[in-house]
Chain A
Amino acid sequence: MKYTHVTKHLLQTIAIVPVVPLLTGVIYLSHGKALTAGLIELVLVMLIAFQWGFLEAVVVSVLAVACLDYFYMPPIFSLYERDPQDWISSGIFVTIALTAGHFADRIKRKAIQTESERTRLEKLYLTSRDILMLDRSDQVGAQLTRLIADTFHVDAVALWDAREARMDKAGKDAIPDDEVRATYFHEIYENDLVSCKFKRVLRLGTRPVGAIYIAGASHEDHLDPRSVDAIASLSAIALERAHSFAAESNAEAAKRSEQLRSTVLDGLAHAFKTPLATIQSASSGLLEINSLEYPERELLSLIDEQATRLSKLTNQVLQTAELDQRQLEVDHEKICLDQLFRFFKAEAVHTLTDHPLRIIDETTDSYVWADTRLLEMALLQFLDNASKYANPRSPITLRITATDTEVVFSVQNEGSFVPPEERLRIFQRFYRSPGSQHRAPGTGIGLSVAKRIAEAHTGRVWVESDSEASTSFFFALPRISKDT
Chain B
Amino acid sequence: MDDSQGRLLVVEDDAALRRSLRTTLDVLGFDVGEASNGEDGLVRLRMVDYEAVLLDINMPGIGGIETCRRIRRVYTKIPILMLTVRDSEDDKVEALEAGADDYVTKPFQTRELTARIRAAIRRFRAPETPAEMSITNGAIMLDPVRRRVERAGIEVHLTPREFDVLQLLMAHAGRPITHARLVAALRVPGFGSERAYLRVLIGQVRKKLEDDAANPIYILTDSYIGYRFREP
Contact at B214–A284, with CB atoms within 8 Å?
no
- Determine the chain A residues whose CB is within 8 A of the CB of B24 once the complex forms: 281-282, 285-286, 288-289
- Name the CB-closest residue of B to A308: B107
A:410-448 near B, CB below 8 Å: none
**Cβ-Cβ contact count across A and B, 8 Å cutoff:** 74
Taken residue by residue from 146 to 179, chain B's Cβ proximity to chain A (1 for < 8 Å, 0 otherwise) reads as 0000000000000000000000000000000000
Contact at B23–A285, with CB atoms within 8 Å?
yes
B75 contacts the other chain (CB 8 A):
no
- Determine the chain B residues whose CB is within 8 A of the CB of A244 once the complex forms: none
Taken residue by residue from 78 to 119, chain B's Cβ proximity to chain A (1 for < 8 Å, 0 otherwise) reads as 000000011100000000000000000011111101100000
Cβ contact of A277, chosen from B25, B27, B107, B203, cutoff 8 A: B107
A275 contacts the other chain (CB 8 A):
yes
- Determine the chain A residues whose CB is within 8 A of the CB of B186 once the complex forms: none
Contact at B109–A278, with CB atoms within 8 Å?
no
Cβ contact of A284, chosen from B16, B17, B108, cutoff 8 A: B108
Cβ contact of B223, chosen from A286, A308, A311, A343, cutoff 8 A: A343
Q: Which of A48-56, A98-106, A252-260, A331-339 contacts B (4 or more CB under 8 A)?
A: A331-339
Taken residue by residue from 179 to 208, chain B's Cβ proximity to chain A (1 for < 8 Å, 0 otherwise) reads as 000000000000001011001000100000
Contact at B107–A280, with CB atoms within 8 Å?
yes
- CA of A289 to CA of B20 in the docked complex: distance in angstroms? 12
With A276-B107, A343-B223, A373-B224 known as contacts, the answer to whether A285 contacts B20 (CB < 8 A) is yes
- CA of A287 to CA of B108 in the docked complex: distance in angstroms? 13
- CA of A436 to CA of B114 in the docked complex: distance in angstroms? 40
- Determine the chain B residues whose CB is within 8 A of the CB of A286 once the complex forms: 24
A315 contacts the other chain (CB 8 A):
yes
| Nearest CB in chain A: distance from B63 CB, A | 16
| Nearest CB in chain A: distance from B117 CB, A | 12
- Determine the chain B residues whose CB is within 8 A of the CB of A273 once the complex forms: 85
A342 contacts the other chain (CB 8 A):
yes
Residue among B20, B28, B114 with max Cβ neighbours from chain A (10 Å):
B20
A250 contacts the other chain (CB 8 A):
no
- Name the CB-closest residue of A to B202: A339
With A281-B17, A336-B199 known as contacts, the answer to whether A288 contacts B214 (CB < 8 A) is no
Contact at B86–A315, with CB atoms within 8 Å?
yes
- Determine the chain A residues whose CB is within 8 A of the CB of B85 once the complex forms: 273
- Determine the chain A residues whose CB is within 8 A of the CB of B106 once the complex forms: 277
B217 contacts the other chain (CB 8 A):
no
A274 contacts the other chain (CB 8 A):
yes
| Nearest CB in chain B: distance from A207 CB, A | 49
- CA of A274 to CA of B14 in the docked complex: distance in angstroms? 8
- Determine the chain B residues whose CB is within 8 A of the CB of A288 once the complex forms: 24, 28, 110-111, 114
B21 contacts the other chain (CB 8 A):
yes
Contact at B114–A278, with CB atoms within 8 Å?
no
Taken residue by residue from 12 to 54, chain B's Cβ proximity to chain A (1 for < 8 Å, 0 otherwise) reads as 0010110011011101100000000000000000000000000
- CA of A178 to CA of B60 in the docked complex: distance in angstroms? 74
Cβ contact of B107, chosen from A311, A322, A333, A339, cutoff 8 A: A311
With A319-B87, A373-B224 known as contacts, the answer to whether A281 contacts B111 (CB < 8 A) is no
With A277-B107, A342-B214 known as contacts, the answer to whether A282 contacts B20 (CB < 8 A) is yes
- CA of A399 to CA of B214 in the docked complex: distance in angstroms? 18
A:311-368 near B, CB below 8 Å: 311, 315, 319, 322, 333-334, 336, 338-339, 341-343, 345
- Determine the chain A residues whose CB is within 8 A of the CB of B16 once the complex forms: 274-275, 278
- Determine the chain A residues whose CB is within 8 A of the CB of B14 once the complex forms: 274, 277-278
- Determine the chain A residues whose CB is within 8 A of the CB of B111 once the complex forms: 284, 287-288
- CA of A339 to CA of B25 in the docked complex: distance in angstroms? 38
| Nearest CB in chain A: distance from B54 CB, A | 11
- CA of A338 to CA of B207 in the docked complex: distance in angstroms? 13
- Determine the chain A residues whose CB is within 8 A of the CB of B214 once the complex forms: 338, 341-342, 345
- A residues with a Cβ closer than 8 A to B are 273-278, 280-282, 284-289, 307-308, 311, 315, 319, 322, 333-334, 336, 338-339, 341-343, 345, 373
Known A278-B20, A289-B28; further 8 A-B contacts with Cβ < 8 A: A278-B17, A282-B23, A284-B111, A285-B21, A288-B111, A289-B24, A289-B27, A334-B193
- What are 8 inter-chain pairs, A to B, with CB distance below 8 A? A274-B14, A274-B17, A275-B16, A281-B24, A285-B110, A288-B110, A345-B214, A373-B224
- B residues with a Cβ closer than 8 A to A are 14, 16-17, 20-21, 23-25, 27-28, 85-87, 106-111, 113-114, 193, 195-196, 199, 203, 214-215, 223-224
